[in-house]
Structure 1
Amino acid sequence: MKITIIGTGYVGLVTGACLAEIGNDVFCLDVDPRKIDILNNGGVPIHEPGLKEIIARTRAHGRITFSTDVKASVEHGEIQFIAVGTPPDEDGSADLQYVLEAARNIGRYMNGFKVIVDKSTVPVGTAERVRAVVEAELAARGLADRAARSFSVVSNPEFLKEGAAVDDFMRPDRIVLGSDDDEAGRLAREKMKRLYAPFNRNHERTLYMDVRSAEFTKYAANAMLATRISFMNEMSNLADRVGADIEAVRRGIGSDPRIGYHFLYAGVGYGGSCFPKDVQALVRTANDSGQQLRILEAVEAVNHDQKEVLVRKIEQVLGADLTGRTFAVWGLSFKPNTDDMREAPSRRVIAALLARGACVQAYDPVALDEARRVFALDLANRGDEHARLAFEASQEETLSGADALIVLTEWKEFKSPDFMHMKSVLKSPVIFDGRNLYEPQAMAELGIDYYAIGRPYVPLQSATDPHA
């Protein structure tokens, strides 16, 4: 099938590459010539495991094209995926300007029946707005009488986890498809059914529903996952006060099949492009509808505060004035296997350390370039603070001359470091772990002062003397 992907960001690029991989003829459009140049020269503007290889393979077979030509993109695809950004507006609502501009271009240049697919995460009711924009463009071309049967708007939200997006697309848990129950809607549904047939061969994964329910499903899913994270983070803070171990609690409640283990890890809060903005957008949608989502408002507040829990632990141990202190930081991206720095907890933690006079030596396996860019913006008006932030080429280099190590992202390579070497390089053997990667008792036995999230501190002397 001939497919057009509008937007070569995270969702659009993964969607386009994977659809090309299974044999479709895919045209990827972006208005940013820099991105298109990178893609046409064999690069990939985002880090996602396996994506570069798929793009190289499908380009070699002529199944994927990258261009800034809007007219050609509309003429190419019988199915037009809108996969542009929907950043939060000042009031927390989703900014739909890029979605509506994409719809406007489709209406301006479409030359036959089109299935217009909202792949971007959009608020309930967006499909109607997209339809109205397309109809207005067709009317301007004198084609208003054909509008009802010349296109249909479908909601097909993405459920891709950054760092595992290719596998999620190729082996989906579910495919949510919202369409209208009219002649054009039924035709669109059949085309989408044909497109996704390769993913339904073992068993049917597609969930068919009305458009508004499909739009709502995406927000509800992300809100539920964000709620689980904030719930565990709030429990971890209470565990600190009452002397419980949140890891033991996690195993205890996760063993209940009604709860399960997914998204039950305590840490320094969630980040990324989805959970923060989607929770905000759903709260805003509720407010516009005359309802208050009290649970989600609390989820957002807990997550905001959680990003400085580790800073408060550092202050309790080392004092509020960190002038002259140097910290090694492992992990900058909001989660492993991505270079995404959007709403990353590292941004809040590092900014707080610098504001308290500290120096920071930071490392991330893939996000260093993106981190340099975002911290240059974050610290643009913060005096000499930017000068006290250094990015190192390896995790070992961050340790040299540092007073303590801070772990902020659970990359695999951080899970089994050489602790004895670490002790010999750090000024003092102290770890503040924002992801609970290590065991407190084991750290104490190694002579390392270890502070985690919701886990009891084990004094060094008690590690060897149970009566101390």
Structure 2
Amino acid sequence: MKVAVAGLGYVGLSVAALLARHHDVVGVDVVPSKVEIVNAGRSPIQDSELDQALSSGALSLRATCDSADGYADADWIVIAAPTNYDTTTNFFDTSAVEAVVEAARAVNQGATIVIKSTVPVGYTARLREQLGDRNILFSPEFLREGKALYDNLHPSRIVVGCDAEDAAQKAKADEFAALLAEGAEDEDVPTLVMGSTEAEAVKLFANTYLALRVSYFNELDTYAASKGLDARKVIEGVCLDPRVGSHYNNPSFGYGGYCLPKDTKQLLANYEDVPQSLVGAIVEANRVRKNFVADEVMDRVMRIVFEEGRAPLVGVYRLTMKSGSDNFRASSIQGIMRRLQEHRVPMLVFEPTFDGGSYFGHEVTHDLDELKNRCDVIVANRWNGELADVQDKVYTRDLFGRD
């Protein structure tokens, strides 16, 4: 079986590695440096299992920037192109997905196309109708940053969406689900084949529930901090109830990263003509939490201004969303930075994976000692033991030392 995967980010590269365990896979990407890194047997993204898999030589995987080369003789074309949220239209920008479909069909009319990019509810069915192309499926991904290959090898479930009333499409959906299951290391993975619109809804509702949990424990923490309570004790007591559990319960500066911010906003946009209050509250709760955190930091800043008569330098410890990730996109600490910037607070950013000289106009350093020595307050979304010697300077809401 020959598979082409369009897009070598977290989703595309991990799916390519999964399928390349048993089939010939070509990864297609417009960024030459990514292609070179993959062909050299390394991962262009931070994921230890991907690095190990690519360097092992056990995968039948190559990469190219030439779409015709990648798509021409493929049996399956998996699309993992980016779909960023467009705040003007309140919908995902699906132009990259459509560009891949156009390029693929220009050289290959027979391959089954599977969209793995996150899209609005109803998008795949509309695309099939618009193009008159019945051979397009949707399969959502459920991956964590830094754990993308692991989550493909050990999936919580496999979901494939098709036109459930079309027997040929249903057969193709079953076949693709079997390909994913074949690459997984776990047996008897729960598999659901459903309508493509339902599958799109599964993705958005799943991520919105995770955002809800993050927001809930953040608001618990905001209450505890405001009222002088021990937030850790309260959270531990709440989470010992097995119906609640202890996952996604560590307070943070807000939910962020590749998926949760845009997926919650997209789901809210899909509710345009449907009564709701909870989904909108989740989106608003994230904004309120960032305001609270920024206000707390500003309290420290102003205390130094009044007591010492000078403007303090605020340090930002890491731009990444999670420990073990190299993703800056929509990380919650950037929301804090923007709010501090409105108050013209000078900042120094410590981010060893960023090679630019400045970020949002703020100086960036790779030297942790420089951050510790120069900064009066250090803002950290996630605690790290390397900050222990300057703990009195650190502002964080991380209670459990994990994501």
Please name the residue that 1:118 is paired with.
115
**For 2:378 and 2:327, how far apart are their aligned partners in 1?**
22
Choose which of 297, 312, 315 in structure 1 pairs with 2:295. 312
Deviation at 1:304, TM superposition (A): 1.6
Deviation at 1:333, TM superposition (A): 0.4
Give the direction of change, closer, same or farther, for the CA distance of 1:32–1:331 in structure 2 (3 Å limit). Answer: closer
The one-letter code of the counterpart of 2:27 is: C
**For 2:366 and 2:58, how far apart are their aligned partners in 1?**
39
Where does 1:160-309 land on structure 2 (aligned, <5 Å)?
160-180=143-163, 181-198=165-182, 199=184, 202-287=187-272, 290-309=273-292
Could you report, residue by residue, the CA deviation over 1:174-199 in whole angstroms, capped at 9, with x for unpaired residues?
Answer: 11122233232133034214313433
Secondary structure of residue in 2 paired with 1:247 = helix
Given that residues 160 and 177 in structure 2 are in contact (C-alpha distance below 8 angstroms), is that contact kept between their aligned partners in structure 1? no
Deviation at 1:320, TM superposition (A): 7.4
Deviation at 1:61, TM superposition (A): 5.0
Secondary structure of residue in 2 paired with 1:162 = coil
Could you report, residue by residue, the CA deviation over 1:318-355 in whole angstroms, capped at 9, with x for unpaired residues?
Answer: 41785531233322201111111111122232344455
Secondary structure of residue in 2 paired with 1:107 = helix
**For 2:59 and 2:318, how far apart are their aligned partners in 1?**
38
Choose which of 153, 177, 200 in structure 1 pairs with 2:136. 153
Deviation at 1:278, TM superposition (A): 0.4
Give the direction of change, closer, same or farther, for the CA distance of 1:133–1:248 in structure 2 (3 Å limit). Answer: same
Deviation at 1:111, TM superposition (A): 4.3
Please name the residue that 1:406 is paired with.
379
TM-score using structure 2 length: 0.89
Given that residues 327 and 405 in structure 1 are in contact (C-alpha distance below 8 angstroms), is that contact kept between their aligned partners in structure 2? yes
Could you report, residue by residue, the CA deviation over 1:130-154 in whole angstroms, capped at 9, with x for unpaired residues?
Answer: 323543xxxxxxxxxxx65xxx222
Please name the residue that 2:13 is paired with.
13
Given that residues 334 and 340 in structure 1 are in contact (C-alpha distance below 8 angstroms), is that contact kept between their aligned partners in structure 2? yes
Secondary structure of residue in 1 paired with 2:299 = helix
**For 1:46 and 1:417, how far apart are their aligned partners in 2?**
24
Could you report, residue by residue, the CA deviation over 1:375-434 in whole angstroms, capped at 9, with x for unpaired residues?
Answer: 64x33xxxxxx3xx332333x331113323322234xxx1x3474x437xxxxx333113
Secondary structure of residue in 1 paired with 2:336 = helix
| Worse-superposed segment, 290-299 or 350-359 | 350-359
Structure 2: which 5+ residue stretches go unaligned?
A: none
Give the direction of change, closer, same or farther, for the CA distance of 1:346–1:204 in structure 2 (3 Å limit). Answer: closer
The one-letter code of the counterpart of 1:45 is: P
Where does 1:308-347 land on structure 2 (aligned, <5 Å)?
308-319=291-302, 324-347=311-334
**For 1:123 and 1:191, how far apart are their aligned partners in 2?**
24
Deviation at 1:160, TM superposition (A): 0.2
Secondary structure of residue in 2 paired with 1:208 = strand
Please name the residue that 1:454 is paired with.
none
Deviation at 1:5, TM superposition (A): 0.5
* Large movers: runs of 4+ above 6 Å: none
Deviation at 1:292, TM superposition (A): 4.2
Deviation at 1:361, TM superposition (A): 3.2
**For 2:96 and 2:364, how far apart are their aligned partners in 1?**
36
**Number of paired residues?**
394
**For 1:99 and 1:397, how far apart are their aligned partners in 2?**
43
The one-letter code of the counterpart of 1:104 is: E
Structure 1 vs Structure 2 CA RMSD = 2.5
Given that residues 125 and 196 in structure 2 are in contact (C-alpha distance below 8 angstroms), is that contact kept between their aligned partners in structure 1? no
Choose which of 327, 343, 354 in structure 2 pairs with 1:368. 354
**For 1:48 and 1:341, how far apart are their aligned partners in 2?**
15
**For 2:217 and 2:263, how far apart are their aligned partners in 1?**
19
The one-letter code of the counterpart of 2:370 is: E
Give the direction of change, closer, same or farther, for the CA distance of 1:83–1:196 in structure 2 (3 Å limit). Answer: same
Deviation at 1:312, TM superposition (A): 1.2
Could you report, residue by residue, the CA deviation over 1:26-78 in whole angstroms, capped at 9, with x for unpaired residues?
Answer: 11112333432343345533222222222233xx4561111122222222321
TM-score using structure 1 length: 0.77
Give the direction of change, closer, same or farther, for the CA distance of 1:31–1:404 in structure 2 (3 Å limit). Answer: closer
| Worse-superposed segment, 161-170 or 188-197 | 188-197
Give the direction of change, closer, same or farther, for the CA distance of 1:266–1:433 in structure 2 (3 Å limit). Answer: same
Is 1:81 paired with 2:78?
yes
**For 2:18 and 2:187, how far apart are their aligned partners in 1?**
18
Structure 1: which 5+ residue stretches go unaligned?
A: 136-146, 380-385, 424-428, 439-468
Choose which of 125, 128, 132 in structure 1 pairs with 2:129. 132
**For 1:409 and 1:100, how far apart are their aligned partners in 2?**
37
Deviation at 1:162, TM superposition (A): 0.5
**For 2:75 and 2:60, how far apart are their aligned partners in 1?**
15
**For 1:237 and 1:70, how far apart are their aligned partners in 2?**
49
Secondary structure of residue in 1 paired with 2:63 = strand
Please name the residue that 1:430 is paired with.
393
